[in-house]
Amino acid sequence: MSGGLLVAGTTSDAGKSVVTAGICRWLTRKGVSVAPFKAQNMSLNSFVTREGAEIGRAQAMQAQAARVEPTALMNPVLLKPGGDRSSQVVLMGKPVGEMSARGYHGGRQTALLDTVVGCLEELRSTYDAVICEGAGSPAEINLRRTDIVNMGIARAARFPVLVVGDIDRGGVFASFFGTTALLSAADQELVAGYLVNKFRGDVSLLEPGLDMLLGLTGRRTYGVLPFQHGLGIDEEDGLRVSLRGAVRESVVAPPVGDDVLRVAVCAVPLMSNFTDVDALAAEPGVVVRFVDRAEELVDADLVVVPGTRGTVRALRWLRERGLADALARRAAEGRPVLGICGGFQVLGEHIEDEVESKAGSVDGLGLLPVRVRFAREKTLARPVGEALGEPVEGYEIHHGVAEVTGGETFLDGCRVGEVWGTHWHGSLESDAFRRRFLTEVARAAGRRFVPAPDTSFGTLREEQLDLLGDLIEEHADTDALWNLIEQGPPAGLPFIAPGAPPAAPTRTKEAL
């Protein structure tokens, strides 16, 4: 079996995903064959592998960092929220049903441990190292009994645990200490140490605290990563910026032409795969913002209605906020609108949904000649085609089946005037197609905007992944990290009181 490491966090969004990607890229550059792994992911941002399996986009991004093809083994359980209390359960890349949080944690989650451990073992038999990402915090003691993604998988694999803390939020020392002290003695034995993320300033001022933390816990800090602007890496479960803020933290490059192009993205409920607009934000002179008010569409040159896990709910939200009327006015005025996946569906004439919302027959916005029927079987595909005279590829994740009855063909959807719709996610990452599409948008908007002739989204993504690898290589003790991956948790790590009572026994391979 290969070595490995579990990257846990003091909180959600502490930086687990990017640290995992950074470690994968660092190891890959050293010539180590490495695979990412997340036993259970909760996210509306997902991706379709070449074998037609749906996994979290964060794991697909980490696989790219490791320069390997993503597979369902890397994310065997994906939970896609459909509301505050229920999620669609995707097992080994295929949906197996809806389940409440109580039902999932009440028994189903533990039953999935066999599958999760089996996937990890298969990866360990193939790669030199497996870098696992945890979820939330390992100190969620109310969920420890059924945990299969944090200390549960670490115990099963006997992997050392590196706890990441976001110092930009404040309270990082208390978070490190408290996270460790809330774990049982058996779990604490695997917590090897800590990694500080998003530090601003002089590291020497932090060192006395790191020394005190070592004295209090007997565990060292393996690195202090500086705050880094401009990381447009795929998010797991939330927007990096607040609503109405610029997308990601991207630096807006000056336009090639005389004008900028303003893109407004409707922040619909249960928004999924909002990463579709990252490729637009990467273009010099394109400014992308998420909006939730009708007046914010007035000066937009392009409005994007993105994917959503709740098409009917998003449709109702658009109407309640006056955005539906604003979209209709744009269509009548010949001003560009692009609907992607669920956003494409709401632009149609009619929706028949007995699957997702169970709302039955619902009228759409009527901006495209499309009728949508929700099927129980989910479409998962990696289509390749042509649009606007340029090659395009993307991926599909949807229950809605669209019947297009008119308009001009556009990918798998259609175009009427300046209203465009498609189920294809990721199409804007095709550089030549994106440039042609933006040229069309600029013409319709009356903007003297010219797409940059040499923007390569794939190259930009690789540069960002290399930047993550640089952060690990330059600011972490990589010799010590490699020793953890190869040798496992250090012996003799002290117990930190009070410690949680022992959890129910965690099954290992021998006990399965």
User: Known catalytic residue: 341?
Assistant: yes
Q: CA 8, CA 154: separation in Å to the nearest integer?
A: 10
Q: Give the tokens for residue 47.
A: 């991706």
Q: CA 348, CA 29: separation in Å to the nearest integer?
A: 47
**Strand 271-272 relative to strand 307-308: parallel, antiparallel, unpaired?**
antiparallel
Nearest-CA neighbor of 62 among 112, 15, 10, 117?
A: 15
Angle of CA points 52, 468, 65, to nearest 5°: 25
Nearest-CA neighbor of 469 among 11, 142, 131?
A: 131
Residue with tokens 């709302």: 359
End-to-end CA distance of the chain: 17
Q: CA 445, CA 436: separation in Å to the nearest integer?
A: 14
- Return phi, psi of residue 295, to 5°: -65, -20
User: Known catalytic residue: 119?
Assistant: no
Q: CA 230, CA 233: separation in Å to the nearest integer?
A: 9
Residue with tokens 């190259």: 459
**Strand 161-166 relative to strand 129-133: parallel, antiparallel, unpaired?**
unpaired
In b/e form, how buried is each residue of 199-238, taking b as 16+ CB within 10 angstroms?
beeeeeebeeebeebeeebbbbbbbbbeeeeebbbbbbbe
Nearest-CA neighbor of 177 among 221, 209, 213, 210?
A: 213
The answer to whether 75 and 56 are in contact (CB under 8 A) is yes
Which is the catalytic residue, given 119, 132, 341, 414?
Answer: 341
Q: CA 300, CA 280: separation in Å to the nearest integer?
A: 14
Give catalytic residue positions: 341, 425
